[in-house]
Amino acid sequence: MAGKAKSQQSLDTWTNQQWRTPSGKKSSKTGEVYLPEGKIKQLKASKKGRAKLSKANQAKRKATKQGKQYSSHGLHKGINRNG
């Protein structure tokens, strides 16, 4: 029996991550971005990271006010999300 395809392995990894907002509250109430818990901890650990997170939340709130579901907040910049 063959193992899972790379795309399925990636989906499994993504699914198993604990996604949440930085505050732990609903994004619809706070306007915050959803990120894996590990990424949030990493960003909150430094002053530069907290500034990036704040800027991303501002971009998310602005996009939401404009009626957009997604925002270009830059936290995923440089990450190959297609496997």
Is 44 among the domain residues? yes
pLDDT one-digit tens code per residue, 33-72: 999 999 999 999 999 999 999 999 999 999 999 999 888 8
pTM of the model: 0.76
Measured CA to CA, the distance from residue 2 to residue 51 in angstroms comes to 45
Is 6 among the domain residues? no
Is 60 among the domain residues? yes
Tell me what pLDDT residue 1 has: 45
Taking 80 as the threshold, does the pLDDT of residue 80 lie above it?
A: no
Eight-class DSSP state of 33: P
Percentage of the chain lying above the pLDDT 70 cut: 90
Is 20 among the domain residues? no
- Identify the residue whose tokens are 């999300």: 81
Domain extent for 45: 37-65
Taking 50 as the threshold, does the pLDDT of residue 24 lie above it?
A: yes
Measured CA to CA, the distance from residue 83 to residue 76 in angstroms comes to 14
Tell me what pLDDT residue 69 has: 87
**Total domain count, the chain:** 1
